[in-house]
Amino acid sequence: MTTKGEAFAGLSVALVTPFRNGEVDYEAFRRQIEFQIAAGTTCICPVGTTGESPTLTHPEHERVIAFVCEVAARRIKVMPGVGSNSTAEALRLTKVAEAAGADAALQVAPYYNKPTQQGFYEHFKRIAEESALPQCIYNIPGRTGKNVEPETIARLAELPNVTMVKEATGSLDQASAILCSTNLTVLSGDDSLTLPLMAVGARGVISVVGNVVPQDMIALCQAADRGDFAEALKWHRKLFQLCRDMLGLATNPIPIKAAMKILGRDSGELRLPMTPLEPQQEAQLRRTLSQYGLL
C-alpha cells in the first residue's frame, strides 16, 4: 500500500549543526549538504535533536532553515525541525520553513509541559490546518516526557497533510499499531531499529549515522524495500555497533560530532550544556570507526 508520505521513503539524515568559535559554520554546513546530495540521500533534516536546536537562538534557527533550503535548491528534500512546546511558536517556525521553501515540517511532540492526548491532538491539528506543508510527527517520549499514543496518531492521520511519523519510542508494538490503523509513512527514529521497523512496514529512517555513512544506510533501506532481507540483515549487522555508539556512548549529538571530527568533517564543537566525549569514550569510538573501515 502506498503511504501518505511515500516521497520521503528511504534515507533522511538528521544533520548536525557545525559550529566554529561559538558561531554556526555555514561553509562546513554547505559541505555537509553537498555530501548528502552526492550520496543520493532522500531528505535532510536540519535543526532537530542532532542539530542542537535547543541551543540555537530563534534568529539562528530561522537562518539555518533558510540556508539549508537555499543550498539544497530542490536537489534534495528538506524537512527542518520546527516543533516547540508552545503551539504558537511551532506554528511560527513552520511558517518560516514554508516561506523558505522547505518540503515538509518535522514536529517534535510538545516537551516538558506534558499535554494530555487531547492537547497533543489540538497542537498538531492547529499546525496542520494553518500550514500547507506535509507534517511529520516526531514522537520521542524519552526526551519529551510523554508518549503520543497510537490512537492519537490515528486521529491525526485523518488530517490531509499529516503524512509521516518519526517513530522513536523504541516500541515495535507502537509502530505496528500505527501501521495497522493508518496509511502514514513511518520512519524509524533509531538507526539500529531501521530494519526491524521496515520489516513491519516502516518506509525508512531519519538517521544520525547517515551523517557519516549515508550510502550504507541507503543500501540497507533499499534491500529491505525490495524484500531482500538477507542483504538488509548483512547491512544491519555491519552498521549495528556504529549505530549503538552514536546513541550509546553519550547523548546525541555528542558522539556523531566526535566521529565527524575524527573523520575530518566537522570541528566537533558543541554548545553547552553538551560537552565532549570523555577520553575513554573517544577511544571506544575510534576503535569502532576503525573496525568499520572508516579509519
Amino acid at 134: P
Contacts of 280 (CB under 8 A, 6+ apart): none
Q: Which residues are part of the catalytic machinery?
A: 138, 166
Residue 16 is placed in which grid cell?
A: 548536525
Query: Residues near 61 by Cβ (< 8 Å), separated by ≥ 6?
Result: 47, 53, 93
- The per-residue b/e assignment along 95-125, b for 16 or more CB within 10 angstroms, e otherwise, is bbbbebebbbbbbbbbbeeebeeeebbebbb
- Residue 107 CA to residue 1 CA, distance in Å, equals 25
- Using the structure block, give the residue that is written with the C-alpha cell 499546525: 127
Pairing verdict, β 19-20 and 23-24: antiparallel
C-alpha distances in angstroms, 222 versus 77, 198, 230, 245?
Answer: 18, 10, 12, 23
**Cell 543500501, located at residue:** 219
Q: For residues 44 and 37, give the distance between their C-alpha atoms in angstroms, rounded to a whole number.
A: 9
Counting DSSP H helices and E strands in the chain, the numbers are 12, 10
